[in-house]
């Protein structure tokens, strides 16, 4: 169990927080992300850049962290279609980035395993995913959904 007061002291002192301490500040007691405190950033290397703003004794702190696919569950299960749309986009982007990195390593002969399917199939899959992301981005612009 994370000591919340100890975590706040570390935060005030500018010390690094571990994963459980970050979770205590960024998630509520039900494991749901504090959506009103979050700023969603870019998706890079299969992770989504996140920032959470917290108020401690009237002082605002910004905590930067990285979220993976599991962190999109709240968006995925939202009643708001725009939030579900974001989850679909983020999850696809995370998977696309991972596949792209694997393809680059495959082409450079730097993979630490032997894929069971041909490079061409993986490239075609990445192409389809890229096209799908492009369509989602166009739709987001049309529907005023901020990704």
Whole-number average pLDDT of the chain:
79
pLDDT recorded at residue 11: 77
pLDDT recorded at residue 3: 73
Beta strand spans in the chain (E): 38-44, 47-56, 59-67
Distance CA 75, CA 13 (A): 32
**Between vectors from CA 123 to CA 122 and to CA 127, what angle results, nearest 5°?**
115
pLDDT recorded at residue 31: 52
Query: Among residues of the chain, what percentage have pLDDT more than 90?
Result: 28
pLDDT recorded at residue 15: 83
Distance CA 120, CA 112 (A): 19
Q: How many CA atoms lie within 13 A of 67 on its CB side?
A: 28
Distance CA 91, CA 68 (A): 8
pTM over 0.85: no
pLDDT recorded at residue 142: 97
Does pLDDT of 139 surpass 80?
A: yes
pLDDT recorded at residue 69: 62
pLDDT recorded at residue 71: 62
Does pLDDT of 87 surpass 70?
A: yes
Contact 47, 97 (CB under 8 A): no
């Amino acid at each position: 169990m994370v000591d919340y007061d100890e975590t706040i002291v570390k935060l005030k002192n500018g010390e690094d927080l571990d994963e459980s301490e970050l979770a205590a500040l960024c998630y509520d007691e039900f494991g749901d992300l504090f959506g009103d405190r979050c700023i969603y950033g870019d998706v890079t290397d299969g992770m989504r850049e996140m920032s959470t703003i917290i108020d401690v004794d009237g002082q605002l702190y910004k905590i930067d962290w990285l979220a993976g696919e599991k962190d999109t569950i709240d968006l995925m299960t939202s009643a708001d279609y725009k939030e579900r749309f974001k989850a679909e986009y983020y999850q696809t982007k995370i998977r696309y980035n991972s596949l792209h990195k694997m393809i680059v390593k495959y082409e450079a002969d730097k993979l630490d395993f032997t894929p069971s399917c041909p490079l061409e199939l993986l490239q075609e899959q990445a192409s389809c995913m890229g096209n799908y992301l492009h369509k989602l981005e166009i739709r987001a612009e049309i529907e005023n959904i901020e990704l």
